[in-house]
Structure formats: structure tokens, C-alpha cells
Chains A and B, each alone.
Chain A
Amino acid sequence: MIGSFAMLVVGAAVVFLLLHAIPGDAAIAALGDSASPDAIAAFRAQHHLNDPLAVQFWSWAQAALTGDLGQSISLAGGFSTAALIAGSLPNTLFVGAYALILAIAISLAGGSIAASRHGRIEDVLATSGAIVTISLPDFWLGYVLVLVFSLGFGWFPAYGFTRPGDSLAGAFHSGFLPALAIAVPMAGILSRMLRATLLETFRRAYVVSAHAMGFGRFFIFWHYVLRNALIPYVTAIGLQARYLLGGVVVIERVFGVPGVGSVMVDAAFARDYGVVQGCAVVFLLIVIATNLLVDTICGLLDPRRTA
């Protein structure tokens, strides 16, 4: 717990310092290029942008500790940071979870087939498919999906996302292409990972002896191989899940998913320091939570850890 909290504080401070190290100004972002110098000066004074950095950070941190992440000043003036995150985080989580499920489904199938048909044509196809998908830039894949499934077949919207709160069916429909664009490269990595660990497990002595005892192939795969091979696989999913938070901004942009990554990037460009930090804290919290979750699942899979 203390470690996690320290990580939060250090993370927030690093983001704060980095943000102030880049040139630019919230006043110009908010007031535009026709603002007079006195208007800019008044804006800076009103939002305490002239205070020493340490003072600014301290007042932000004090409020944040009481759960108040402040208000936007140059991204969406007057909207609270909490409202901006609350409006966008569910979309990110939905598309992220959707992508993760697709990636797990694809990689479980691909990895298992490749490993169990090791060296045969199915393996070659699955393995080379994985390498191709890992190598595709995700924004390019996004456009190709739009080209084929939206502009070509007309099955999915080319742009725009229906919030799960507005319509769950709509969210699944409009979120499919962005989730797939995120899932495909991830599935490539995960299925290669799964294939490698499965193959390694196949060669383990206990698997060989299970064969010698005359158990069926599927019985062995299910009871002896898969569960053991899943531990590194789940850890890898945990690492990939972090990428879902921030790394999918490009996909959010291509498909118009109003996610928290886009909010953070826009806030950074607008130098809306409070909003960027609010997003960063939420990201950190989610990463910490994901780590805990991964550790828990690995524990369940591996009785030695819980024993």
C-alpha cells in the first residue's frame, strides 16, 4: 500500500514537472492568438500560473488528496476534471475490455492450435499471421478496417462511438472496429507467447509421463498443459492492459472514441495542467489495480503461490 501511494505521488510530481518543462502556456491556449497581453496576464493571475511550481504542485496535491481534482482551465473551461474523466473513462474501459476479450479469444485459439499442431501447416499459418499482425501499425490497420468493413460492406460506422450508457448494443456495434484494431496486434503478441509456453510445457517430464500413462491428448492438454502455460500468458495480458489505457489514443482519434487518452493528449496540448495530472493519477491507479489483479489471477492459477 505504502509503495503504491509513493508511486502515485512520485508519478504525479514527474508528470507535473514534465508538463511545466515544455514551452507553451495555458493562457494562450485558452485565450487564443488574438488575446491582448493584459488579458493573458489577467488569466495567468486568476489561475495562479505565476506562482512558484512548488506552490502550484502543493495546492494541487492538497486538493487532490481530498478527492478534488480541480477544474479545467483551457480544455473545457469550468468543467471539473472529475467530470471530464467520468465522461471519457468508461468509453476507454469499454473499448479496452472489448479489445482485451477479442485479443484473448483470438490468441487462445491461435496459440493453442499453433502449439498442438506444431510444425504443421496450421502452425505456420498461425505463427506467420501473428508476426504480420504484430508488425502492422495500428492506425493503418484502423483505416483498413474502415475501408473494408465500413466503406466497403457498410457493416459498421466509419466514425463515432455510442456510449455504453446510451445503448449497450450500440456500443458493441460501434466499438467493434476500434476494439478489433487494438486487439489484432495484441493477439499476435499473446498467441506467440502462448505458443512458446505451451511448447515448453509439452516437453516437461510430467507431460511426457502423462502420455506414457496413456491419458488422452485433450485430457493432458486441458489438465496438465494449459493451466501451467497460462501463468506467463496472464502476466503478459497484464502488461498489455496498460497499453490499452494510453497507447490507443491514435485508435480513439481514428474512430472517434471519446476516451480518456484523447482527453489527456488534448489537455497536454492545451497545457491544462490540472486535467493532465488528474488523468495521470487515474492511469496510475488503474495500473496499480491491474498489477494487483494479475497477481491475484496468477495466484489462483498457481496453487504454490497461494499455499
Chain B
Amino acid sequence: MSISRRHLLTGIAGAVATNAAPAGLGQYAYAAVANGQTLRAALTGFSVMNTLDPGKAAVNPEFFIIWGMFNTLVKFDAGMKVVGDLAESWTNPDPTTWEFRLRKGVRFHDGSEMTADDVVFTFERIADEKFGSPVRKRMATVTQVVALDPYTVRLKTDQPFAPLLSALTNTRTSTQIVCKKAVLAMGNEQYGRTPIGTGPWKLKEWRPNERLIFVAHTEYFESGLPRCGALEVPLIKDDASAINALAAGGLEFVNAVPYGESDRLQHMQGVTFSSVPGLNARFMALNIQRPPFDDVHFRRAVSMSINREAFVQAAVFGQALPSQGYIPKAIGWAYDDTPHEYAQFNPVRAKEELAKSKYGAGTEAVITGFPDAWWKRMIEVFVDMSNNVLGVKFRVELQDARTAYSRWTQNDGQAWSMGWIALCDPDEYLFDCFHSTGWRNFSKYNNPALDKLLEQARQELDREAKGGPLYKQAERLIADDCPSVFLMNTFSNSAVLAKVKGFEHTPYDGFGAQLAPMSIS
């Protein structure tokens, strides 16, 4: 089905280029509000959103929306540097103490002022086991949060924990500051459907499985933002449809352009295409507890059998960087660009390693993955390359993403095609996934030297100068053992109508965070 669609859409390109159709989304129902235009920004590839409570949010589309409705203490700027958001400044009186000085006069959507009380409430709420934040353990290192005065908050951690700052920027740590008054007034469940935040967009209506409608938060603390008076976010499951809507002028912004469409959009008139390497890693996670991937030589052989440059072309139309490790290039200070032997395509060396392993040519294995878009090609190309070079007999098994993922978490299978987007500290990639106690280390990889290194790096408050070299070293230790075969770091591709001004593409892909400065000319 997807192939016929793609061929068809390639054909559409010519017809589209010169046409500016007036028809569009919501043209009947929602006229632009008085103070400006309505920005229509589609979330593509998703139609399900379960909650908008930052404390409960768990999946990407929820995070994408929360970025636009809430603020954190600190945030990343476009250059991936941590800057203040709700906090103006911060200090470390000692390695386990963080003091944040809050901005004054920040208003929630209900008009009340955000103070230290709300910050304390936010952290206590997610630490409360009964509340059931899916990421409670992620912030478990924070042992105490105190309001020193209405505009100063002190956080204590149980040990020096350098990644804290980047964790605080993040939607995946539930640390968006919620409105204490509103949560207490409406209760947690209702707050998940009608949340009150400090962000540029105030929720007007949530139509499940269809769209979300926002109005500008007129008291937003960043002056002049948001530039549009209203925002509509249709949830478009079928990404080809989203591109059609953009081409017809029925949308201003599409957050995720399918890789097969990237070339077409680059040449489409009236559309600005934007591409940056994302903060992700795409890899084959190997079950190192079970044959044949329990043998390090076999794993190295497989890794060296993959021509990553060709892989990127075949799997995602060249819309990725080949990768040899977990940490993406966007985190430059921790990114190891020295070529690692086992991550280089080398059929001769691959066969030598195969000869050293317990398993030979003809070894069978099932690689589990999901059927969605390029994920399917990723696994097929991988299997094809390994089978061709090594003469092994790998086989593809496709299951829906949730099933495949839940099997991985139970170590049920031999290998899985997987990805990870961490936001945005190297610790979240390496410690979580390869430390012997890492919560995402499902195949129980255990390397004491690596553990020591990661524990040390985590305490290094001078992230870049002192932490960086440690993470690069850790990446090399992991690459020696190949517990996963790293393949690529895919691009984040967005498309926006040329008449839209103010779009700045951030590598962390925080959909809702990018919309406030956008205006339509």
C-alpha cells in the first residue's frame, strides 16, 4: 500500500508545484480570532493522545503538545545550550544543591501567578508514588524541594547528579511546572484533560483523535509571543495526507515529513523544507543472553557486515547520518567521531570474526521489528546486508510497535529493531541503556569498567570539558562489545509554508515549543 501511495505522490509533485489552493482545514468552523491569525500545525503520524498532564504524559504526541502549554525551569536553546525558562538563574552552592531564582510575574492560563509554591508542588506530585507518574524514578535522585521565598527554589539530590539540568528541560521527566491551585481544584484526572500551564498556548478544546484547538495566552511572559492569535493542531495519522494538506495550503506546518517525501518537498514552491540531525539513535538491540548474539565475535561480525552509508540510502532515502554509537552528533561535546573498527563495513574482517565465533554461516536468527514506514525497510535492509556478507540466515518478524517493544522489555526474542530519543544528556543514552542497573538495559549487559566510567561521568558537573571525554571513552567500550548494532541517526524533517515567518528548527524536535514565534505573512 505504501509503495503505491509513494509512487502516486511523486506524480502529484508536478501538479502541486504551481497551485495555491484556497481550500483548507477548519475554514468554516474557526475564523481567525480578533488578535491575529490561526496557525495550523499538524502532528503527523499520531492520532492518539491520552493525557495532557505533564506528570502523566508518556508518549511523543503528548510531549509535543505539552511543550507548547507549559514551561520548565530551564530549557535548551537552538544551539543546545541550557538557558533559563521559568528560572532566571541558578547556582550550585554545593554539588548536591541547586538553587533556582524564578522569574517574577509569570502568569498561568487562569491568570494566577506562578511562584515557588507551584514548583515545589510539581516536584512533590511526581515524587508521590500514589500519583503514579510513569517516570517517577527518573527524578528519584531529587530528595528535597523547598521554597526559600516565593521566587527561590532549592533542590537537593541524593548524590552529585550532573544530568539534572538537562533533565529539567525535558518533557520526559514530568518537570513542567503545573498550577497547584488548578490541580487541587479540578483533581488529577480532569487536569489531564483541561490543563492549566504557563506556556504560550492555552487549550480551548480537545477533540480526541481529531485535533486540539488553542488560543494565545495573552499574559505569556515572553513579550510579543505567541505571534498568532490561535493554534490548531490536527492529528494526522497518515503522513501522506498531511503533505497533501500542506501542498493545498490547508496547513502551515508539518512536523514530521516522511523520508520518502523529503526530496519532493525540497523542490516544492511555496514550501520551506527544514532538516536537522535529530537527537535519536536507531539500532538493532541484540539479546546477548541467547544464541547467536551471546557471542561477542558473532555480534562484531554482524556489525562489520553492515555498510552504513548504503544502509542510510536504502532505508531512509539518505535522510540520516550513519552512526557507530548511541550519542547523536547534535550533542557535539560527547559525540565520538573517531571511526571504530567494529562499526566500519569490512566484509573480510567480518568473516574473520564469524570464524572466531561459536556460530558460522547458516546461523538462523529472527529479528523483530515493526511494520511502520521506514522501520520496516530498516529491518529488511539490515537482514539483507548481514545475510549477504556473512551467509547467515536472519529472518524478519514484524509486529506492531507496542508488541515488539514490550517483547524487548521482557527480553523475549533474539534481536529487535529499535530506536531511542533522549532529551538531551549523554547519561540518558548510555547510563540508562548500558549501565548494569540502567532501566533500559533489558538484555542485562554488564561491563564493570563501563559502569565505573558512567558513574563517574554522571557526577561531573563540568559536563562538556570533563564529562565529554568520559562519554567518548564509554562509547568505545560499548562498541568493542557490540551489545547493540548502531546504524544511524535520522534527521528531523519539517516543512512549513514559505509565508510563515519565525520558524526555528530545534534538534530536540519539541513541536509545541517551536510554534510561539511563528507568524503568517
Contacts and interface: CB of A to CB of B under 8 A. Distances in A.
Interface of A: 22-25, 28-36, 38-40, 42-43, 46, 72, 74-79, 84, 87-88, 137, 139-140, 143-144, 146-147, 150-160, 162-163, 166-167, 169-170, 173-174, 253-256, 258, 262-263, 266, 269-271
Given A32-B58, A159-B250, A42 B48 contact: no
Given A30-B50, A162-B26, A151 B16 contact: yes
A157 B251 CA distance: 10
Nearest to A42: B132
A157 B134 contact: no
B250 A152 contact: no
B170 to A, nearest CB: 11
Contacts, number: 204
B349 to A, nearest CB: 34
Contacts of B238: 253-254
B29 A143 contact: no
Contacts of A153: 21
Contacts of B172: 34
B192 interface: yes
Contacts of B193: 77-79
Contacts of B241: 158-159, 253-256
A28 B50 contact: no
Contacts of B33: none
B28 A162 contact: yes
B223 interface: no
B207 A158 contact: no
Interface string B340-380: 00000000000000000000000000000000000000000
Interface of B: 1, 4-5, 8-9, 11-12, 15-16, 19-29, 47-51, 56, 58-59, 132-138, 172, 189-190, 192-193, 206-211, 234, 236-238, 240-242, 244-245, 247-248, 250-251, 399-400, 402-403, 405-407, 409, 439-440
A301 to B, nearest CB: 38
Which 8 A-B pairs rank lowest in CB-CB distance, beginning with the nearest? A170-B28, A32-B58, A154-B21, A76-B208, A159-B245, A160-B25, A258-B210, A158-B248
A174 B26 CA distance: 9
Contacts of A76: 48-50, 206, 208-209
Given A75-B50, A77-B192, A147-B12, A160 B406 contact: no
Nearest to B49: A76
Contacts of B192: 77-78
Contacts of B5: 139, 143
Contacts of A39: 132-136
A28 B406 contact: yes
Nearest to B13: A151
A147 B240 CA distance: 12
Nearest to A270: B48
A39 B1 CA distance: 37
Nearest to B191: A78
Nearest to B12: A147
Contacts of A84: 208-209
B175 to A, nearest CB: 14
Given A31-B58, A152-B19, A157 B209 contact: no
Given A75-B50, A154-B248, A160-B24, A87 B207 contact: yes
Given A167-B28, A258-B207, A158 B47 contact: no
Contact of B58 (A35, A155, A167, A266): A35
A155 B21 CA distance: 8
Nearest to B245: A159
A282 to B, nearest CB: 15
Contacts of A170: 27-29
Given A160-B234, A266-B48, A151 B12 contact: yes
B266 to A, nearest CB: 18
Contacts of B59: 32
16 contacts: A23-B407, A34-B58, A75-B208, A78-B192, A143-B5, A143-B9, A143-B12, A143-B244, A146-B248, A147-B11, A147-B15, A151-B19, A152-B15, A152-B19, A156-B23, A266-B237
Contacts of B245: 157-160, 256
Contacts of B47: 262, 266
Contact of A157 (B24, B190, B399, B405): B24
A35 B57 CA distance: 10
Given A75-B208, A76-B49, A143-B240, A29 B29 contact: no
B29 A151 contact: no
